[in-house]
Chain A
Amino acid sequence: MNRLLPLLVLWPLAGAFLTLGARGRAKARRILACSFLTAECLLALPALVAAASGRELAFAWEGVAGLGLRFRLDGFRALYLLIAAYMWMMTGFFSVQYFAHAENRGRYVFFNLMTLSAVAGVFLSDDLYTAFVFFEVMSFTSYTWVAQEETQKAMKAAETYLAIAVIGGMVTLMGLFMLYHRLGSLTFSALRTAGETLPAEELFLPGILVTVGFAAKAGMFPLHVWLPKAHPVAPAPASALLSGVLTKVGIFGVLAVSCNLFLNRPGWGRILLVPGVITMFLGALLAMFSVDLKRTLACSSMSQIGFILVGISMQALLGAHNALAVRGTVLHMVNHSLIKLTLFMAAGTVYMNLHRLNLNEIRGFGRGKPLLRFAFLMGALGISGVPLWNGYLSKSLLHESILEYVAHLRAEGLPTGAYSAVEWIFVITGGMTFSYMLKLYVALFREKHPTRQPEFDGMRKGYLTPLSALARGGSALALPLLGFFPDLGMSRIADLGQGFMNGGAPAHPVAWFSGENLLGAAKSLAIGAALYGGVIRPLLMRKREGVREYVNRWPAWLDLEAWIRSGAVRRLVCDPVVRLFRLLDGLAESRPVRVWIPAAATGLMRGLDGLAESRPVRVWIPAVCTGACRLLNSLTDGLIRLSRMTVLSVKRAPERPPVGNRLTWRLGRALDALARGLNRTILRKHPMPTDYEYRLDVERQEADRVMGLIARSLSFGLLLLGIGLLAVCIYLLSR
């Protein structure tokens, strides 16, 4: 039984390659594709039965594609697998007629089956890695859906689709790395354990990164830009799948992160709530303004994804008491898939017959076509949340979960303003849903085309082949059936989803048609009717030549992508980088490097060459150098000499004059010199004697002798005086 899981993935893949073999035989290929799709749906049934009976299948393909592929089947996965297979089968039947005269059918069929295989892979995956692998494959194969028509518009939309897918994929991969590096495993159970043990702050960044890629596929603001562009250009069966299943694949990824890594973490709920609410409201707003049938449906998808994201964030906010939010999320996913299948196939029917999607050109086409009207009406009532249809049930649950959280906050005495606002936006968005569906319904089935109405009326027969009619009717019938008997279908479906989301069981059975819920729905519907009467009719339509027509009043400058494409980003970010790189690339071969530097080097060399021969070099520099060397050489000697003269000077021995004493000798010499000088100049004729040295010495000796005499006589006198004094003393003493 476990081998059923890889079979579910490989079966469509095998089918895809088999259709390649049926090249050129369109009918054989058609039969082959349809039978493979039907068989896949039949294979998914026992899986659902097994899951519903509580058996969990698991299959691990170790070592394949890197970390190995792990599959698991529980209620939610089986449910979504079945929904995917069912939708593929229905669109497969429908596309037989839709593509009857189209080109490149083989390519569509091949990639259609491939995408189913990848989608099955994502829904069955048991770790983020497996999910990511199949998710990437899905992104690339579904590209061909958007580009199928090969018109310029389609190519541009496909480009946007691919860009968002690739960038989103890379961001997710970055997050996966961080998680893998931190946890060592990417299985959902490991994520859950990590979520319970690790601090939340550490997980927010990788969690957000992983979510980005998946949320981009789901169409979350601000990565929704691809969605309103891709849906209108894709063939209708593909639009139905893009909107009904591929967005849910994205949601699956968001759920995998949210319900494991951030199980019961209010912080995560708050992070997710903001883009969720914006997506919800913005989608509805865009849908109201749109005048293109499929674009309206696409924007509506975006809005519904916003509802689902609000449900997911409520799960996280409500923590252990999140049963209502869990059930609401599951049911809204299922409902939206089924409703969009119906609506897009209706749109496909219109396009197939008229090749137009503008509301002004297709108005009145549905008149007198009861099957189309029935299918469209069921879808419109379902998605608008009219009681007794399926959309009402899921929206009520989501609405109740918001109210529950408000009540919870109030009980704890915390401010509730923001969440009350969310609740109001929720109700208003519900009303907007009603208003734009009403707009579509009135345009298609009430109004008349000003010129082509008889032609349209003539298409009453034969606008659908029996096979398409079966696909149409079957898918539409499911919606009221699910809504009329909520406990029979919806409750069970909700039970299936709980396990995957790790949600709690409801405390008491849901009162589907309680007064509160009906009041909420009534509020929404009243607002919707008011918006239709007060905004759409007067403001979004205008009368021209007596005919009221729909006009697109959405300001063009609000298109986020156009702004990015307009060149602001290119000019500000890309161009400088490219210019820098171009500069660097040229660097090694650029003029400066190739010419200037060699030229400079050559010039320098030549200059040096001449320099060696020049006079300054030959004479001055050697001279200066020699001088400097000499200077340096004598520097030490000089220092020694200087120091000897100053600090280390040796005291000279006193000079003994040859004649006389120092005074007479010096004076004599000076006088001699003076005399000699005079003799040479003035007294040349009568020279003076120049023996002052001697003469002064003689004088000195004479003076010495005289002084000696004086001294001696003085001393004699003093002696006598002394004796006299002594005699006087003795005399005085002897008396």
Chain B
Amino acid sequence: MRALMICALLLPLAGGLLLPLLRFRSGKSMRVFVGGVTLAVSALAGLLCAFPPEGTLRVLSFTPTLELALRIDGTGRIFMALLAVLWPPAVLYAFDYMEHETRQRSFFAWYTLSFFAVLGVAMAANLFSLYLFFEGVTLFTLPLVTHKRDAASIRAGRRYLVYSLTGATVALIGIVLLTGGGTMPAFVPGGSVTPEHGAEELYRWAFLAAFVGFSVKAAMFPLHAWLPAASVAPTPVTALLHAVAVVNAGAFACLRLTCYTCGTAWLRGSWVQAAVLGLAAFTVLFGSVTAFREKHLKRRLAWSTVSNLSYILFGIALMTPEGLTAALTHIWAHSLTKIVLFYAAGAVLVRTGRETVQETRGLGKRMPWTFAAFTLAALSLMGVPPLVGFQSKWNLLEAAVSSGLPMGMAGFVALLISTVLTAVYGLGVVIPAFFLPPEEAERLPSPGRLDPSWRMLLPMFLILCPVVLLGLAGAEVTRIFSEFASKLL
């Protein structure tokens, strides 16, 4: 059973590496290959989530203390299940979206390789393995950001690289300090690092460095600027990677660092917790305010991601079981809703070539299905009951209140203000789309419906099903997640 873990990693790796080498007779056969690989990996990952193998699988041993090892535990299962659920619809969407783009083969090769890296992050059993896969995520997704190879995307790619590598370096410094030089401890619920007597302050600084370093991927202020810039990438990339996989990998790494490596006993109530909470709460507000100002639709969604990822980091930094539960719920809630929002924005872009909020006015009547999906997802993002977004926000607010920290209360207020702003920037797209006349109607292609084909619509509605269902079953979801979370502290 444990060998399945390595299969689940090798399959996308091999698929991605083989793709440029194989000769396909048509685009269709390539799509069948990519789809097949993705489905198989998803199925494997799903199987592993459902029946997690016991124990740790040692893959490579560099030195006695540095080894590449895999293991599937509670939070890893939650993250992996999310990936397994979202990847196949995303690939389906990408097929249609990328139809008119060049160099599809390299695109899908990197897309599949990213799957490998992100799965690795979910399965890593110690900090060293996590770090390796984490860097892998950076490198494999870089060609996807620069896929268009125009000046803007290359600039965005460079920025992404600089931010990510800087973050990883800072994180590495922190880790090395934390773990006393080179020994990378395996993940233990509750953490294994205890500061040496008299060196607590140093350890706290090291934790801050590591947390901030990992949170670059989750786009926490002040190292957030890469994410909105990266929205120049093709929509399947922004949707799946920059709203789900990469950013959540950052948040997930922070979770591993906080709850599985450091342990929270010596962090709780210290200035470093206040600092991290403050940064996250500030980013929540900051992202929302900027999203509200942003006129470009995809960038607006990216700013919203900045804000929402900090909800998750905030939940982690609360370091209470409620906070972790809320963070895990929000990982799911945000991913499901944001990916649909991006899909809808991408569908608008592909079908009409319109990118700004101003230009999407009045399109609701021409693309009813697309905007229906967008509306439902936007409502969930706002936290309208009974959708899943409400559940996660409720959990988060509850955790913030019950933490009893002054920063928790500050975050509570920030979350509420951010919710109002989310409503403003979400509905600021939906309402003009449905209730205002279209901009330059004569320049739209042919009269009639402009909705994209089923291959783009189906993923949206497939993903909306859990948005509604998980929202209705919110209490059950919270219960399951809180079971995982309660073991961590």
- Selected from A62, A67, A150, A173, the residue in CB contact (under 8 A) with B435 is A150
Structural contact, A66 and B384, CB atoms closer than 8 A: no
> What is the total number of residues of chain B having a CB less than 8 Å from a CB of chain A?
36
Cα distance, A132 to B472, chains bound together (Å): 15
Q: A155 at the A/B interface (Cβ < 8 Å)? A: yes
Query: In B421-436, which residues have CB < 8 Å from any A CB?
Result: 423-424, 427, 431, 435-436
CB contacts (< 8 Å) of A65 on chain B: these are 385-386, 390-391, 471-472, 474-475
CB contacts (< 8 Å) of A132 on chain B: these are 385
- Selected from A64, A174, A585, the residue in CB contact (under 8 A) with B290 is A585
- List 10 extra interface pairs beyond A65-B471, A177-B397, A177-B401, CB under 8 A: A64-B472, A65-B474, A66-B390, A66-B394, A66-B475, A136-B384, A166-B420, A170-B420, A577-B289, A588-B223
Structural contact, A133 and B385, CB atoms closer than 8 A: yes
Query: In A44-77, which residues have CB < 8 Å from any B CB?
Result: 62-68
Structural contact, B398 and A64, CB atoms closer than 8 A: no
Structural contact, B286 and A581, CB atoms closer than 8 A: yes
Structural contact, B420 and A162, CB atoms closer than 8 A: no
State the A residues within 8 Å of B (CB): 62-68, 132-133, 136-137, 140, 147, 150, 155, 158, 162, 166-167, 170, 173-174, 177-178, 180-181, 577-578, 581-582, 584-585, 587-589
Cα distance, A683 to B435, chains bound together (Å): 130
11 contacts between A and B (CB under 8 A): A66-B386, A147-B431, A147-B435, A150-B436, A158-B431, A166-B420, A167-B420, A173-B416, A181-B401, A577-B289, A585-B286
Query: In B386-406, which residues have CB < 8 Å from any A CB?
Result: 386, 390-391, 394, 397-398, 401-402
Cα distance, A585 to B386, chains bound together (Å): 34
State the B residues within 8 Å of A (CB): 221-223, 225, 286, 289-290, 293, 379, 384-386, 390-391, 394, 397-398, 401-402, 412, 416, 419-420, 423-424, 427, 431, 435-436, 471-476, 478
Structural contact, A137 and B385, CB atoms closer than 8 A: yes
Structural contact, B402 and A181, CB atoms closer than 8 A: yes
Structural contact, B286 and A584, CB atoms closer than 8 A: yes
Structural contact, B471 and A63, CB atoms closer than 8 A: no
Interface of A is mostly: helix
CB contacts (< 8 Å) of B420 on chain A: these are 166-167, 170
Structural contact, B423 and A166, CB atoms closer than 8 A: yes
CB contacts (< 8 Å) of A581 on chain B: these are 286, 289-290
- Which residue of chain B has the shortest Cβ distance to A178 in the bound complex? B401
Cα distance, A2 to B393, chains bound together (Å): 31
- Which residue of chain A has the shortest Cβ distance to B402 in the bound complex? A181
Knowing A63-B473, A65-B474, A581-B290, the reply to whether A155 touches B435 (Cβ < 8 A) is: yes
CB contacts (< 8 Å) of A66 on chain B: these are 385-386, 390-391, 394, 474-475, 478
Cα distance, A303 to B401, chains bound together (Å): 38
CB contacts (< 8 Å) of A578 on chain B: these are 289, 293
Cα distance, A150 to B416, chains bound together (Å): 30
Cα distance, A180 to B420, chains bound together (Å): 21
- Selected from A62, A136, A173, A577, the residue in CB contact (under 8 A) with B397 is A173
- Selected from B222, B475, B476, the residue in CB contact (under 8 A) with A587 is B222
B371 CB, min distance to chain A CBs, angstroms: 13
- Selected from A67, A174, A585, the residue in CB contact (under 8 A) with B416 is A174
Structural contact, A177 and B398, CB atoms closer than 8 A: yes
Cα distance, A166 to B225, chains bound together (Å): 29
Cα distance, A180 to B402, chains bound together (Å): 10
Cα distance, A166 to B379, chains bound together (Å): 12
CB contacts (< 8 Å) of A588 on chain B: these are 222-223, 225
- Which residue of chain B has the shortest Cβ distance to A148 in the bound complex? B435
B480 CB, min distance to chain A CBs, angstroms: 12
CB contacts (< 8 Å) of B412 on chain A: these are 174, 177
Cα distance, A459 to B261, chains bound together (Å): 82
Structural contact, B384 and A137, CB atoms closer than 8 A: yes
